[in-house]
Amino acid sequence: MIKVNQNQLNETQPTKAKSDVRIIVEREPDNQALDIDTVHQIVNERLRDIQGLDTDQVHRIVTNRLRDSRPVAWEEDISRNTLDTLPFSNLPSAATLDATEFKSSPIRLASIEPLLDGRVLSDLIAKDTYPIPCAEDREGYSLGYDGQYWLSGLEDYLKIEQAAKRYGVDARSVFDFGCASGRVVRHFAAQSDIPEIWGSDINRRHIRWLYEFMPHTIKPIFNHCIPALPIRDNSVDIITAFSVFTHIDTFETSWLAELQRILSDDGIAYITVHNEDTWAAIRKSIDDKSNRLVQSIINIDPTFRETLMGEMPDTKSVYRFSQSGPYRAQVFHSNNFLRQVWGRFFSIEEILPLHHARQTVLILRNK
């Protein structure tokens, strides 16, 4: 919100206004910074009828104040919802949800069936007695479809389990990097006997949810966008990261080195990216207004529509939608970039196209 001090910016004090303009720039209650162009538009509207005002000077002051301004909570520069204390509104557990909630997505049920390995889906549902976070607290996953949300986490859990078996990983410790409110880690807690389940996220509200509603086998960490994890060297057998490196625009290699540090010698990392396969998939839905990935980039760069019709650039491409905060970009990695850069930190065992919706899964191991 922009506030103009009218005592100093009024028609009766034009000279004073020219020489000693003070603009008070305040942030919205959620500490999200306004785009600088939007700020200047608002300033123009507020000052339109003030006579004798040097508007160029006003805009210079606004720009300087914005450049030097900080969030109310400094941690909002590198993380989210740091001071959140609002209570949660949860939904029933999977075990008590109406069975029809799980039948609303026949396509997902069909993809889960071959992963069950002789198990019965209803038995897995009955094991999960933990509440389900409400739609607003699950990072945009399956809004309005609670059973589908739960199934999406189960499907990824079963795919990870399958990959671990392929590589002979007998996991005693797992870590979900960017775990949100436990979409996947809840299944490690409910369906496995793994004693040490780590999860980290830059959103403190998600981490607080895990502390309040998940069992003690889950160790939630409120981290930030500066690469550092308080986890022992060589101690994690399975690392997962869903929709994380699709948004890391800076310090990517430092994060890769940090994950390499904590991964055990025999472990695997299961990480999703946007690559050429994602590019080709979203090209087909370029006119779909409900496709959040496409629309978010077009809003950033209107020329993306034309760019998308060609081949994806053979590098790392970043589309930044904000200049503030830790969550600010959509990122694409070419397979060649992955081999040239990521291949220095890990052995890329598999590239599984569209293995997580529109995202491609990488299976990585320490060299």
- In the block, residue with structure tokens 């960490």: 221
Question: What does the pLDDT average to over 114-134?
Answer: 97
Residue 27: pLDDT over 60: no
Question: What does the pLDDT average to over 234-243?
Answer: 98
Residue 17: pLDDT over 60: no
Confidence (pLDDT) at 71: 59
Q: Which of 53-62, 73-82, 333-342 has the lowest mean pLDDT?
A: 53-62
The CA-CA-CA angle for residues 224, 28, 329, to 5°, reads: 45
- What is the C-alpha to C-alpha distance for residues 316 and 238, in angstroms, rounded to an integer? 26
Q: Which of 33-37, 80-84, 108-112, 189-193 has the lowest mean pLDDT?
A: 33-37
Cα torsion 133, 134, 136, 138: sign: positive
Question: What does the pLDDT average to over 235-240?
Answer: 98
Confidence (pLDDT) at 42: 76
When pLDDT is cut at 50, 70 and 90, the band that residue 245 belongs to is very high
CA atoms within 13 A on the CB side of 3: 7
Q: Which helix (H) or strand (E) holds 349?
A: strand 346-356
The conformational region for residue 52 under phi > 0 = left, psi -120 to 50 = alpha, else beta, is: left
Residue 62: pLDDT over 80: no
- Residue 336 CA to its chain's centroid (Å): 24
- What is the C-alpha to C-alpha distance for residues 105 and 299, in angstroms, rounded to an integer? 30
When pLDDT is cut at 50, 70 and 90, the band that residue 6 belongs to is very low
Question: What does the pLDDT average to over 12-37?
Answer: 44
- What is the C-alpha to C-alpha distance for residues 271 and 364, in angstroms, rounded to an integer? 8
Residue 69: pLDDT over 90: no
Comparing 261 with 99, which gets the higher pLDDT? Answer: 261
Confidence (pLDDT) at 16: 39
Confidence (pLDDT) at 35: 60
The two three-digit tokens of residue 64, written as one number: 């300087």
Q: Is 330 exposed, middle or buried (0-12, 13-18, 19+ CB in 10 A)?
A: buried
When pLDDT is cut at 50, 70 and 90, the band that residue 18 belongs to is very low
Question: What does the pLDDT average to over 152-162?
Answer: 98
Name the residue type at position 361: V
Pairing of strands 2-4, 196-201: unpaired
pLDDT tens digits, one per residue of 178-195: 999 999 999 999 999 999
When pLDDT is cut at 50, 70 and 90, the band that residue 290 belongs to is confident
Confidence (pLDDT) at 250: 94
- In the block, residue with structure tokens 């086998």: 217
The two three-digit tokens of residue 344, written as one number: 């220095």
Question: What does the pLDDT average to over 321-348?
Answer: 94
Confidence (pLDDT) at 65: 65
* DSSP label at residue 174: E
- What is the C-alpha to C-alpha distance for residues 357 and 272, in angstroms, rounded to an integer? 10
The two three-digit tokens of residue 236, written as one number: 């994690």
Question: What does the pLDDT average to over 242-251?
Answer: 97
Count of residues for the chain?
A: 367
Highest mean pLDDT among 27-31, 65-69, 124-128, 287-291: 124-128
Comparing 8 with 362, which gets the higher pLDDT? Answer: 362
The two three-digit tokens of residue 166, written as one number: 């392929």
Residue 2: pLDDT over 70: no
- What is the C-alpha to C-alpha distance for residues 225 and 223, in angstroms, rounded to an integer? 7
Confidence (pLDDT) at 72: 66
Confidence (pLDDT) at 45: 74
Confidence (pLDDT) at 66: 62
Q: Round the average pLDDT of the chain to a whole number and report it.
A: 88
When pLDDT is cut at 50, 70 and 90, the band that residue 68 belongs to is low
